[in-house]
Structure 1
Amino acid sequence: MNVIIECIYRTPKGVEITFRSDEMQATQALLVAEDLEKIGRAKNVIFIDRFDSSWTIKELKGYLKGIETEPHNVTVYFDGGFERASSSSGLGCVIYYEQSGKSYRLRRNAFATELVSNNEAEYAAFYLSLQELEILGVHHLPVRFIGDSQVVINHLSEEWPVIEKDLSSWADRIEAKMKDLGIQPEYELVPRKANAEADRLATQALNGIEITGTSEMEKY
């Protein structure tokens, strides 16, 4: 989770100003805030997340302690591909997360034959990632979803209306699943080359290569 530090900063000459930091990881923000308190120049320290929720130092410490042994700092890459000649689809997702002080990468793909367009395959890949998050036990956390599908990202972020009936049905399923898991989504649209890993998984699924696995990573 990323947050902004906000506090009243007092200079050595007694001048008080409102200080607002850049966005940073909550663990780093906590260290900075504790250091500011030690030197006695900050008061009314709060942390503000991307959903405008505010936290005191005590509350943020408690929150971070509570999620330490659960998957957190979750980022999802998703991609779907549709092969018109065979009416088949490949779905891929990559999930990065932290748990118990370690970083992990989960990769998963799937082959599908019941979809009818590339946009539907992209939606199905997004839903596949939600199913994996549910299996992981991710709940009541902010999650970043990154993809190269303008349709999916702009639909789910409500930048574009969902007109097509089939896609509307997928959007409803996704929103219901996220509500059930308590996931607070953050969406990011990226160029296809920035989504290469999920794209590769989708292509491998189309070629009959099944990938399922989790590996430990260096801290990212």
Structure 2
Amino acid sequence: MDVRIELTYQTPKGAETSFTSEEMQAAKALLLAEDLEKTGRAKQIEFVDHLDHSWSLKELKKYLKGIETEPHNITIYFDGGFDKYSNKSGLGCAVYYEQNGKSWRLRKNALVEELQTNNEAEYAALFLAIQELELLGAHHLPIKIIGDSQVVINQLSEDWPVYEETLLKWIERIEKKLEELGFSATYKHVQRNKNKEADQLASQALNGIEITGTIEL
């Protein structure tokens, strides 16, 4: 979870002003806030998440302690490709997360035959990633979803309308699963060269190379 720090700073002579930090990971924000608190000049320290929910220092510390043994700080990269000659689709996803004080990367791909377009394959790849999160036991957390499909990212962000019934069904399926797992998702579009890992996984699936694995980073 990313948060920003909001605080009031008071000089020894009583002059006050307010500061708001840039967004950063909650653990880093907590570390900085505790250091500022030691000066005795930082007052009314609170943390604000992407939903504009405010956390006290005590609440954020308790939250971070509670999720320490569960997957958290989750970022999904996804990509899908459709081969019109074979009518097969390659799905790929890379999931980055932290658990028990360590950083992990999960990679997964799949070859499927029931899809009809590249956009549908992109949605299916994202759904595959969310299913992997469910298998990990992740739940009730903010997650970052990153992909190079403008259609998927902009439609899920509700910036673009959805006219195709098939894609609307995928959106409903994804949103239902996110709600079931208690995930609050933020979406980011990147250029294809920033999504090479997921793209390669999708291509490997189309070439019959199956990838499934998790490693510590």
* SS of equivalent residue, structure 1 residue 90: strand
Distance 1:27 1:193 in 2: 30
TM-score, normalised to structure 2, is: 0.99
Query: What do residues 11-61 of structure 1 show as CA deviations (whole Å, max 9, x unaligned)?
Result: 233211111111111111111111111111011110001111110000000
Q: Deviations over 1:131-183 (max 9, x none)?
A: 00100111110100000000000010000111100000000000000000000
CA deviation digits over 1:59-83, x for unaligned, max 9? 0000000000000000000000000
Aligned: 1:88 with 2:60 = no
Which letter maps to 2:177? K
Could you tell me which residue of structure 1 aligns to residue 171 of structure 2?
171
Higher mean C-alpha displacement, 28-37 vs 53-62: 28-37
Paired residue type of 1:213? G
Q: Is residue 35 of structure 1 aligned with residue 35 of structure 2?
A: yes
Deviates more, 1:33-42 or 1:140-149: 33-42
CA–CA distance in structure 1, aligned partners of residues 84 and 179 of structure 2:
33
Q: Which runs of 5+ in 1 are unaligned?
A: none
Identity of matched residues, %: 65
What does residue range 1-220 of structure 1 map to in structure 2 within 5 Å? 1-217=1-217
* RMSD after superposition: 0.7
TM-score (ref. length: structure 1): 0.97
Length, aligned pairs only? 217
Q: Distance in 2 between matches of 1:184 and 1:116?
A: 29
Amino acid at match of 2:71: P
Secondary structure, counterpart of 2:195 in structure 1: helix
In the alignment, the residues of structure 1 paired with residue 2 and residue 154 of structure 2 have an alpha-carbon distance, to the nearest angstrom, of 22
What is the CA-CA distance between 1:185 and the residue it aligns to?
Answer: 0.2
Q: Which runs of 5+ in 2 are unaligned?
A: none
Distance 1:60 1:68 in 2: 12
Q: Which amino acid in the other structure matches residue 24 of structure 2?
A: M
